[in-house]
């Protein structure tokens, strides 16, 4: 009697994820959770990821070409990329009248143009297996934040970038989404560039009040682990929305902001951030 031939099942293909800005905050929590889900995870940032489970490829999102080079290095090694999470970010509290062009141009390089470069570089690899991309936006992209308007503007642009790119790549099996957290308790609060009295000139007191209110809101906000859970849920959803909010309360707030007249929401923002 002939011995039955056993058919061996091929080993499951391990998914590859890239987290830009994964060395701290929301990006770090996301990277750790992806490792727990069995992903091979790469962090791209200036600062190495602390721990052996995530590999770091050093690059500066503000320097044109560095993200592209880093992503192509990963893509050549892994052949395809299943998920891109763009979590790099920079914030500054400064009056528009006195803000330095070097500061707000750097902000847009990190928050917005870096996302464009990452998406462009990842697109050929994402298309191989119908991958996903999640851009970390902010509720601040829907509402103005006093003296942090450059940040709000960049996050508004990021949400539109996700919607437009999803339209282009959907026919190739790739989905792109923006996730909008509200205030989140991370060290991002303490790395904000806050203009002092000499730089802010006549706006100094207002800048100080607004930045303090923003810091309190962030540090009393969501745990970054919960935001990371929302990122993974969005990334693994079969038909993800192009723009989603992290947290039930933030979803309700965003709905209210959309429904109420702008003069009402602007009044609420002034009150929240201690402005006249």
Give the Cα separation of 166 and 176 in Å (integer): 5
* pLDDT tens digits, one per residue of 102-111: 999 999 999 9
Under a CB-based contact definition with an 8 Å cutoff, are residues 221 and 251 in contact?
no
Mean pLDDT of 207-220: 92
Give the Cα separation of 32 and 27 in Å (integer): 9
Ramachandran angles phi, psi of 52, nearest 5°? -95, -10
* pLDDT tens digits, one per residue of 113-145: 999 999 999 999 999 999 999 999 999 999 889
Domain 16-272 matching CATH 3.30.300.30: the answer reads no
Kindly tell me if the per-residue pLDDT of 190 is higher than 90: yes
Mean pLDDT of 214-219: 92
* pLDDT tens digits, one per residue of 30-50: 999 999 999 999 999 999 998
Q: Classify the C-alpha dihedral 218-222-225-231 as positive or negative.
A: negative
* pLDDT tens digits, one per residue of 218-274: 899 999 999 999 999 999 999 999 999 998 888 888 888 888 888 888 888 888 887
Would you kindly state where each structural domain of the chain is located, as residue ranges?
Answer: 16-272
Average pLDDT over the chain reads 92
H helix intervals, the chain: 25-36, 66-78, 101-108, 114-126, 149-169, 197-200, 204-219, 224-236, 248-259, 262-272
Kindly tell me if the per-residue pLDDT of 194 is higher than 60: yes
Nearest to 84 by CA among 46, 132, 44: 132
Give the Cα separation of 140 and 155 in Å (integer): 7
Mean pLDDT of 73-77: 95
Give the Cα separation of 31 and 235 in Å (integer): 13
User: What's the confidence (pLDDT) of residue 4?
Assistant: 44
Quickly tell me which residue has 């998920």 as its tokens.
83
Kindly tell me if the per-residue pLDDT of 11 is higher than 50: no
233 alpha carbon, distance to own chain's centre: 15
Under a CB-based contact definition with an 8 Å cutoff, are residues 207 and 147 in contact?
yes
Kindly tell me if the per-residue pLDDT of 6 is higher than 80: no
User: What's the confidence (pLDDT) of residue 254?
Assistant: 83
Kindly tell me if the per-residue pLDDT of 8 is higher than 70: no
Identify any residues that bridge with 136 across adjacent strands, giving them in sequence order: 179
Give the Cα separation of 182 and 167 in Å (integer): 26
Kindly tell me if the per-residue pLDDT of 1 is higher than 60: no
CB atoms within 10 A of CB 243: 20
- Strands of the sheet containing 40-45, edge to edge, are 55-58, 40-45, 16-20, 83-86, 132-136, 175-180, 243-245
* pLDDT tens digits, one per residue of 42-71: 999 999 998 889 999 999 999 999 999 999
Give the Cα separation of 9 and 134 in Å (integer): 32
């Amino acid at each position: 009697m002939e011995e039955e031939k056993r058919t061996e099942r091929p080993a499951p293909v391990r998914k590859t994820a890239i987290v830009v800005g994964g060395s701290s905050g929301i990006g770090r929590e996301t990277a750790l959770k992806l490792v727990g889900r069995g992903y091979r995870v790469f962090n791209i940032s200036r600062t190495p990821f602390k721990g052996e489970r995530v590999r770091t490829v050093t690059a500066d999102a503000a320097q044109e070409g560095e993200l592209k080079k880093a992503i192509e290095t990963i893509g050549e090694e892994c052949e395809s990329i299943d998920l891109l999470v763009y979590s790099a970010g920079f914030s500054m509290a400064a009056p528009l009248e006195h803000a330095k062009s070097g500061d707000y141009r750097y902000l847009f390089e990190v928050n917005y143009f870096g996302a464009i470069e990452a998406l462009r570089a990842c697109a050929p690899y994402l298309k191989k297996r119908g991958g996903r991309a999640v851009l970390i936006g902010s509720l601040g992209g829907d509402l103005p934040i006093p003296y942090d308007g450059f940040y709000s503007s960049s996050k508004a642009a990021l949400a539109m970038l996700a919607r437009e790119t999803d339209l282009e790549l959907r026919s190739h099996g790739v989905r792109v989404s923006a996730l909008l957290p509200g205030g989140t308790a991370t060290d991002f609060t303490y790395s904000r560039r806050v203009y002092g009295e000499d730089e802010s000139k006549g706006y100094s007191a207002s800048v100080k009040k607004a930045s303090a209110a923003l810091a309190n809101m962030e540090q009393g906000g969501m745990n970054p682990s919960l935001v990371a859970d929302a990122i993974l849920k969005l990334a693994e959803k079969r038909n993800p929305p192009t723009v989603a909010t992290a947290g039930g309360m933030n979803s309700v707030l965003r709905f209210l902001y959309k429904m109420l007249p702008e003069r009402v929401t602007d009044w609420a923002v002034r009150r929240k951030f201690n402005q006249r």
